[in-house]
Amino acid sequence: MSSLDEERLWVAYGNYLAGKVIFLAGLSLLCAGLLIMAVSLGPVRLPVPEVLRTLVGSASDERLRIIIFNIRLPQALAALLAGAGLAAAGAAMQSILRNPLGSPFTLGLSQAGAFGAAFAVMVLGSGFMQPGQTTVLTIVKPWLTTASAFAGCMLISLVIIAIAGRRGATPEVMVLSGVALGALCSAGTMFLQYFADDVQLAAMLFWSFGDSGRAGWREVAIMAVMVAAALLFFACNRWNYNAMAAGDETARSLGVRVERVRLLGMITASAVTACIVSFLGIIGFVGLICPHVVRRLIGDDHRFVMPGAALVGAALLLAADTAARQLLAPHVLPVAILTAFLGAPAFLSILISRQR
């Protein structure tokens, strides 16, 4: 190869990297803009300059500080973190399982979380109707419900790991184990719902609606740590995922410990998903759709797919959460309803376009 050809290759590679970096930078700016918009929109419209001054600590209006820091900013950050965590976990699971339908919920985590929450409401007594001027449904002992949902998610993950360890950590074993265990958890949830009274049944249904409005600063901090740790793990394994995309045998020939990478990736994706689900409830389609969108835009290189999926997921869920608060104002839709309405047609369009 001549020096001229080598120089052209380096130039082409530099342009390739520059395009991806520009794409990620644009997504980062979009997320920042959506975050400001989410904080400014609501029953009380806040001017963007006032929001910015309040965020940097230069505003003196105490009412604005209470609205922003006690209500809107925690909810917006929860939506941003949940979208990033679910989308990155979805991208990892699709790579690990080599399955375009892979997502954090492919392994039955949503059903396990719902069963854990239903168990807390029914057996541990964490759901009741709180009377007042109006009858309002609340979840008493929310941390008990959260812990039970998290335990359900992680228990299913450990069972899948045990099965995969005995039968070999192949994608087929993991997916089929997750489907079977998810069906088992759904049956358990229906069993509890059948014997629940009206109040307990309403509490179970209330929890199943994914809603970022449940998060306070404590929940946001925990989710931030979990999402950051998961993103760091996925970034450290980006080359392993690129190798595994070519097949297990090819990855092994390149020195990748396929079973170990697959199991650790599943544990990480399960942990971050369990954290988000236990705090916010079930939010579907984000982990399924966002990785496909990113791959169609910038290709399959996991150096860029992972951060790209996280940013697209953050932007999507943040925009959906803002829209859910505005569409039927003063009523607030759970964001999971909107993501399902948007995600199902979007995924069908991706499937149809792939067949053409």
| CATH label of the domain that carries residue 29 | 1.10.3470.10
**Per-residue pLDDT tens digits for 109-131:** 888 988 998 888 888 765 554 54
Report the alpha-carbon distance of residue 240 to residue 255 in Å, rounded. Answer: 9
Which tokens belong to 192?
Answer: 């509890």
Report the alpha-carbon distance of residue 88 to residue 272 in Å, rounded. Answer: 10
Which tokens belong to 15?
Answer: 């342009």
Q: Is the pTM of this model over 0.95?
A: no
Report the alpha-carbon distance of residue 189 to residue 340 in Å, rounded. Answer: 21
Report the alpha-carbon distance of residue 252 to residue 260 in Å, rounded. Answer: 11
Which residues pair with residue 209 across a beta bridge? Answer: 282
Alpha helices by DSSP H, the chain: 3-40, 48-55, 62-66, 73-97, 109-122, 142-167, 171-195, 198-208, 217-236, 238-244, 248-253, 258-280, 286-298, 302-326, 335-355
**Per-residue pLDDT tens digits for 56-112:** 877 667 788 888 888 889 999 999 999 999 999 999 988 888 877 778 777 788 889
Over the chain, what is the mean pLDDT?
A: 83
Vertex 79: Cα angle to 324 and 64 (nearest 5) = 80
Residue 255, C-beta contacts closer than 8 angstroms, at least 6 positions apart: none
* pLDDT tens digits in sequence order for the chain, 356 residues long: 566 666 777 777 777 788 889 999 999 999 999 999 999 887 778 888 888 888 887 766 778 888 888 888 999 999 999 999 999 999 998 888 887 777 877 778 888 988 998 888 888 765 554 544 334 445 556 678 888 888 998 898 888 888 877 766 677 787 888 888 989 999 999 998 888 887 788 888 878 888 888 888 999 999 999 999 999 999 999 999 988 888 888 888 888 888 888 889 988 998 999 899 888 888 888 888 899 889 988 888 888 999 999 999 999 999 999 988 888 777 778 888 888 888 778 778 777 776 65
Q: How far is CA 303 from CA 19, 96, 203, 226, 258, in A?
A: 13, 15, 42, 20, 18
The pLDDT score that the predictor gives to residue 133 is 38
Residue appearing with tokens 């954290």: 275
Count up the domains in the chain and report the number.
Answer: 1
* Helix pair 73-97, 286-298: axis angle to 10 deg: 70
Identify the domain containing residue 14 by its residue range: 3-355
The pLDDT score that the predictor gives to residue 1 is 56
Report the alpha-carbon distance of residue 76 to residue 78 in Å, rounded. Answer: 5
Which tokens belong to 321?
Answer: 């959460």
